[in-house]
């Protein structure tokens, strides 16, 4: 790597951290304001999540006709999704196509990790430094660093001594991994584990799954894209996108529920769940009734239906009971979508080990041992153990100001933001789908477009009013955080120990991070705030000092 520490700093209007779906759209949208922009991406390629997560079976859990950019009608008409749900290679191909089509690559710098971002209050500009010492100065800083981009390998003793190969789902080798003939261990049964386990099971000599928490999973019912479905969807694309904006998950095509699960007789309710189970997809299931995410008794009916499905599918009684989640209501952790997940446990070469009752004690040269002393011989070990979600990427960067603010300190008790988009004390820094935003609870690309469009609107407003600084007030930030908590507390979400809560990272503050009041409500609120002249923000003009 060249040492760029002595060259003159590059000057931009907007420095963007991250070259995934959010960073790329930010380049496109902010360029249209005539701004000089550039994105810095740690990976050797663009695509963020879809660049890194190359584990077997990696696939989006939102249907591909929905999970795509909406900003260009011709793009959405031209692109052909071969399957109901996009695979990782297919989505990465799409992202690369978008980058070429809109000439985005000239403003992306790859293999560049941002180490610090310091706001100079006097000069009214951000100075961002890369891992090689390169310096970039810009009026605005857009953090598009991702919510699930800081892979986490638990701090197990002895990992350095393991004689086999080990992998993390989010850092998967580009050349792939051949597990043929190997004794493989997978730790973790979240979305990544649930997607990879059926595929690894077909390759491995033996697969041992180490499960701490059983997760609910529904059949994806993936299939080749039906031509008539694609035709119908594309004929109505703009209207469908607009309709999605009016839903809580920013996903269209599902009839709005009208009744509580408890208003319906049991046989009728189970028939409705059966229809959703056969249809496949998580939104459809959780949208069966109005109150599945707010009323425990209603949720119990939906949870029990899936537990019974697991008991029907998995032949070994003990394994079935271990796989049937009982410690959280369905939907309060990310609901997984699978292809043959539960069926995999009927294979003779697959075994399930409960590491909740008997936790992993240490990794050994030839496998791992549990606290009880039980030992497992393994040739390869896969960590599907998730990410330091939502705050991990920003906490890895030294974000501070010359006025003495420091983001890690500001977020010590849990992340504080206004609208999930800005942070008090950090002027002109925008976060895409950060904590306090509904992003991770929605069709992410819709949320990304909404956030970036809102930010573009705010910058445009500043410029047209001869202003150059925007920052939320402490009161507005406090009120938003309180609102996010209040909304979450009225739901069942806090009942689960999830990454939404920071519960997967030992020592991380337990704060419910996403806004779960619905994308529709959030978007209207953001629009109203802008229409009222950016209520809750201080907008000002600063005499800039030439550097
Ligand atoms: P997740 O959903 O965070 O899942 C991680 C899994 O790893 C989960 O089952 C964890 O159990 C398990 N885990 C984590 N640490 C340990 C230790 N120390 N011992 C045993 N098991 C452990 O990550 P994914 O990558 O699957 O999915 C992330 C998101 O990507 C997903 O929500 C979608 O939005 C796409 P736990 O539940 O914490 O007990």
Summarised one tens digit per residue, pLDDT across range 158-205 is 999 999 999 999 999 999 999 999 999 999 999 999 999 999 999 999
Residue 232 has a CB neighbour count (10 Å cut-off) of 12
Average pLDDT over residues 393-397: 96
For residues 31 and 14, what is the distance between their CA atoms, to the nearest angstrom?
Answer: 9
7 pLDDT band, cuts 50/70/90, is: confident
**Residue 214 has what pLDDT?**
98
CB neighbours of 136 closer than 8 A, spacing ≥ 6? Answer: 9, 10, 11, 12, 15, 38, 40, 127, 128, 129, 130
Res 77 pLDDT > 80: yes
Cα 148 to ligand 1 centroid, rounded to whole Å: 11
Using DSSP bridges, classify how beta strands 59-63 and 85-87 pair: parallel, antiparallel or unpaired. antiparallel
Residues 339-361: tens digit of each pLDDT:
999 999 999 999 999 999 999 99
Residues 517-541: tens digit of each pLDDT:
999 999 999 999 999 999 999 999 9
Average pLDDT over residues 380-384: 98
- With the most atoms of ligand 1 within 8 angstroms of its CB, the residue from 210, 325, 504 to mutate is 504
**Residue 1 has what pLDDT?**
47
> For the range 199-203, what are the long-range contacts, defined as Cβ-Cβ under 8 Å and sequence gap of 24 or more?
199/56, 199/57, 200/56, 200/382, 201/344, 201/347, 201/349, 201/350, 203/178, 203/179
Query: DSSP for 492-531?
Result: SGGGS--GGGTTTSTT------S--S-HHHHHHHHHHHHH
- With the most atoms of ligand 1 within 8 angstroms of its CB, the residue from 188, 331, 376 to mutate is 188
* Structure-token match 């879809």, residue found: 50
Cα 387 to ligand 1 centroid, rounded to whole Å: 8
Q: What are the pocket residues of ligand 1 if the criterion is a CB atom closer than 6 Å to any ligand atom? A: 148, 154, 169, 187-193, 210, 212-213, 334, 355, 360, 384-386, 499, 504
For residues 512 and 497, what is the distance between their CA atoms, to the nearest angstrom?
Answer: 10
The dihedral sign for the CA sequence 532, 125, 430, 27 = positive
Residues 100-159: tens digit of each pLDDT:
999 999 999 999 999 999 999 999 999 999 999 999 999 999 999 999 999 999 999 999
Cα 190 to ligand 1 centroid, rounded to whole Å: 5
Supply the mean pLDDT for the chain.
Answer: 96
- Its pTM stands at 0.96
**Residue 255 has what pLDDT?**
87
Residues 203-245: tens digit of each pLDDT:
999 999 999 999 999 999 999 999 999 999 999 999 999 999 9
Of 16, 23, 88, whose CA–CA distance to 445 is shortest? 23
Cα 155 to ligand 1 centroid, rounded to whole Å: 14
- With the most atoms of ligand 1 within 8 angstroms of its CB, the residue from 48, 167, 190 to mutate is 190
Residue with CA closest to ligand 1 atom 18: 154
Cα 438 to ligand 1 centroid, rounded to whole Å: 20
Per cent of the chain over pLDDT 70 is: 98
**Residue 547 has what pLDDT?**
43
Res 544 pLDDT > 70: no
Residue with CA closest to ligand 1 atom 3: 386
372 pLDDT band, cuts 50/70/90, is: very high
Higher pLDDT, 544 or 504: 504
Q: Cα 198 from chain centroid?
A: 23
Residue with CA closest to ligand 1 atom 38: 504
Query: DSSP for 168-223?
Result: EGGG--TT----TT-EEEEE--SHHHHHHHHHHHHHSSEEEEEESS---EEE----
Residue with CA closest to ligand 1 atom 10: 188
């Amino acid at each position: 790597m060249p040492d760029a520490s002595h060259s003159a700093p590059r000057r931009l209007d907007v420095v963007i951290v991250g070259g995934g779906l959010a960073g790329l759209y930010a380049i496109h949208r902010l360029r249209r304001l005539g701004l000089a922009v550039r994105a810095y991406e740690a990976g050797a390629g663009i695509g963020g999540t879809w660049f890194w997560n190359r584990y077997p079976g990696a696939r989006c859990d939102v249907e591909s006709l929905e999970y795509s950019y909406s900003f260009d009608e011709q793009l959405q008409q031209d692109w052909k999704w071969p399957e109901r749900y996009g695979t990782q290679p297919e989505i990465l191909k799409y992202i690369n196509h978008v980058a070429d089509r809109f000439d985005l690559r000239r403003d992306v710098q790859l293999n560049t990790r941002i180490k610090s971002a310091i706001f100079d209050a006097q000069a009214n500009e951000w100075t961002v430094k890369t891992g090689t010492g390169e310096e970039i100065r810009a009026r605005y800083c857009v953090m598009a660093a991702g919510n699930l981009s800081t892979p986490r390998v638990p701090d197990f003793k002895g990992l350095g001594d393991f004689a086999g190969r080990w992998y993390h789902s989010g850092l998967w080798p580009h050349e792939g991994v051949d597990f043929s003939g190997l004794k493989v261990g997978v730790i973790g049964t979240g979305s990544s584990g649930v997607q990879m386990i059926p595929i690894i099971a077909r390759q491995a000599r033996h697969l041992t799954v180490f499960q701490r928490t059983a997760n609910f999973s529904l059949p994806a019912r993936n299939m080749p894209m039906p031509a008539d479905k694609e035709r119908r969807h594309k004929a109505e694309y703009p209207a469908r996108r607009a309709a999605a904006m009016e839903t809580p998950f920013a996903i269209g095509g599902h009839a709005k529920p009208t009744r509580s699960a408890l208003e319906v007789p049991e046989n009728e309710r189970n028939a409705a769940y059966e229809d959703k189970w056969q249809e496949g997809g998580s939104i459809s299931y959780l949208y069966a009734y109005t109150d599945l995410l707010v009323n425990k008794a209603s949720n119990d009916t939906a949870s029990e239906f899936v537990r019974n499905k697991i008991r029907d599918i998995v032949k070994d009684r003990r394994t079935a009971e271990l796989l049937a989640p009982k410690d959280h209501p369905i939907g309060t952790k990310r609901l997984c979508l699978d292809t043959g997940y539960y069926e995999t446990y009927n294979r003779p070469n697959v075994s399930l080990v409960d590491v909740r009752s008997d936790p992993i004690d240490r990794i050994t040269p030839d496998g791992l041992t549990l606290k009880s002393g039980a030992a497992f011989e393994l040739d390869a070990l896969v960590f599907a153990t998730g990410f330091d979600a939502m705050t991990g990427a920003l906490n890895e960067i030294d974000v501070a100001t010359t006025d003495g603010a420091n983001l890690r300190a500001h977020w010590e008790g849990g992340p504080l933001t206004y609208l999930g988009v800005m942070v008090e004390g950090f002027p002109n820094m925008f976060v895409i789908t950060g904590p306090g935003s509904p992003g991770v609870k929605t069709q992410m690309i819709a949320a990304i477009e909404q956030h970036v469009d809102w930010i573009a609107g705010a910058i445009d407003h500043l410029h047209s009013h001869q202003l150059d600084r925007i920052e939320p007030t402490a009161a507005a930030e406090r009120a938003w955080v309180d609102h996010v908590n209040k909304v979450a507390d009225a739901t069942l979400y806090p009942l689960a120990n999830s990454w939404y809560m920071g519960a997967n990272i030992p020592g991380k503050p337990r704060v419910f991070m996403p806004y779960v009041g619905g994308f529709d409500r959030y978007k209207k609120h953001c629009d109203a705030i802008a229409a009222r002249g950016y209520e809750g923000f201080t907008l000002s003009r600063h005499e800039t000092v030439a550097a």
